[in-house]
Amino acid sequence: MNENRKRIYLCLARMSGKEMDYVKDAFDTNWVAPLGPNVNGFEEDLKGFVGCDREVVALASGTAAVHLALIDCGVGPGDEVLVQSFTFCASSHPITYLGATPVFVDSEKDSWNMDPDLLEVAIKARIAKTGKKPKAIVPVALYGMPYQIDRIMEIADRYGIPVVEDAAEGLGSRFDGQVLGTFGKFGVLSFNGNKMITTSGGGALICPDSEVKSKIMWYATQAREAYPYYQHEAIGYNYRLSNVCAGIGRGQMTVLEEHIAHHQHIKDLYVKLFKDVNGIEVHDNPSSRYDSNFWLNTITIDPSVKIKGQESAYKTVVKVAVGGAAGVVHAVDNPRTECEPNDNVEALRVFLDKAGIEARPLWKPMHKQPVYKNAPAYVNGVSESLFKIGMCLPSGPLVTDDDVRYIVDTIKEAIVY
């Protein structure tokens, strides 16, 4: 069983009395629809956590949150949106849902997130080429690490472009002490089964005020007009979070700070245990301005590091998509692609898998994905180089200190000296 699935099952099996109370109340009062007291309470809990004069809408997923934020920014067919390339596809797919074009911006080497200098280059280039500004900017908190939001906001404000912060992986991460998702016009959160807290599936959108919140909620509930019958004058979506799932979220909020502290502790332990391992480096906060939740702890592996079985890397076709893809299998007939991790990274992944440890490559940059081969991209080689040498290690709240020691010892065992 992979770590994500195990975490969901154990989370539900070990629900606190509080979580069970919220869920039981949803059934007892017949509030099992995508509205109800738990939804309202969860939104208030999140609003209190982000700690500023913002409003929050609970939604079915983080992807839905990105989609609705872009709609409010006026994104439509023929428009362009600047989005970080080094990310999961949920950051860019909603752009294409709207008939717009994602314009990918590469990363800077310290945070691994959107390069502000390259962002401005892209803005100027798109204005020169198309005669109009991009409709939005979407930086991403990769693995929980904050982006240089001060510089991104300065550039965005100068050109009058709204920022949609994709903090789906960054719940509780801070930059200069301020929670991510509260700098731009919108902030996106995710409560998928593998995130800092889970509602089994779900997300939220941090909104600038109550007026925008009402508009987002309207879109998220099929854009129904105020008539005594169903009247639709705009296209809406079925994107609200269920009252049952929100009950789980309310209970999970009570352990959020504990989860963040645990992930940060796990990072510190990885740093300590890898200290004397040549060629392996744990990604850490670039400076004191960054305060990552370390949703996933990541390492880079120097190409010179030799791994047992490296000569057999990519010799076998993988039978399932990474993460199991919810049981969906779309078979491939070639184990290799034009852009892939180095052989030693793949060999280490296989070695760990045989030892019962689930590890994964970093996100493959979106500008190297076949589905986006024709999309404009402003690159500097950073994300591609990191993808070739990087790996995500187990990091969740169920990972113990002994687990981390076992993982590091197994990696040491895999290295050929």
Q: What is the pLDDT of residue 52?
A: 82
Same domain, 309 and 247: no
Token pair of 327 as six digits: 């049981």
Give the integer Cα–Cα distance in Å for 361 and 392.
Answer: 6
**36 vs 343: which has the higher pLDDT:** 343
Q: What is the pLDDT of residue 402?
A: 98
Q: Is the pLDDT of residue 349 over 70?
A: yes
pLDDT digits (tens, 9 = 90+) for 252-306: 999 999 999 999 999 999 999 999 999 999 999 999 999 999 999 999 999 999 9
Q: Is the pLDDT of residue 13 over 60?
A: no
Provide the mean pLDDT of the chain: 92
Same domain, 190 and 274: no
Same domain, 10 and 140: yes
377-406: string of b/e by CB count within 10 Å (b at 16+)? bbbbebbbebbbbbbbbbbbbebeeeebee
pLDDT digits (tens, 9 = 90+) for 132-182: 999 999 999 999 999 999 999 999 999 999 999 999 999 999 999 999 999
pLDDT digits (tens, 9 = 90+) for 238-256: 999 999 889 999 999 999 9
Of the residues 229, 255, 281, the one at which a domain ends: 255
Same domain, 42 and 172: yes
Q: Is the pLDDT of residue 19 over 60?
A: yes
**107 vs 13: which has the higher pLDDT:** 107
Token pair of 180 as six digits: 């991510």
Mean pLDDT, residues 398-407: 97
Same domain, 291 and 412: yes
Q: What is the pLDDT of residue 334?
A: 81
Same domain, 60 and 181: yes
CATH at 286? 3.90.1150.10
Q: What is the pLDDT of residue 1?
A: 44
Same domain, 304 and 176: no
pLDDT digits (tens, 9 = 90+) for 327-336: 666 778 788 8
Same domain, 251 and 275: no
pLDDT cut 90: percent of the chain above it: 81
Q: What is the pLDDT of residue 287?
A: 98
**2 vs 382: which has the higher pLDDT:** 382
Q: Which domain holds residue 292?
A: 257-416
Please tell me the least confidently modeled range out of 67-71, 165-169, 233-237, 314-318: 314-318
How many structural domains is the chain composed of?
2
Q: What is the pLDDT of residue 335?
A: 81
Same domain, 47 and 168: yes
CATH at 178? 3.40.640.10
Same domain, 168 and 226: yes
Mean pLDDT, residues 57-84: 98
Of the residues 239, 255, 271, the one at which a domain ends: 255
Same domain, 194 and 264: no
Q: Is the pTM of this model over 0.85?
A: yes
Of the residues 236, 255, 274, the one at which a domain ends: 255
Same domain, 250 and 382: no
Asked if 58 and 204 touch (Cβ cutoff 8 Å), the reply is yes
Mean pLDDT, residues 390-412: 97
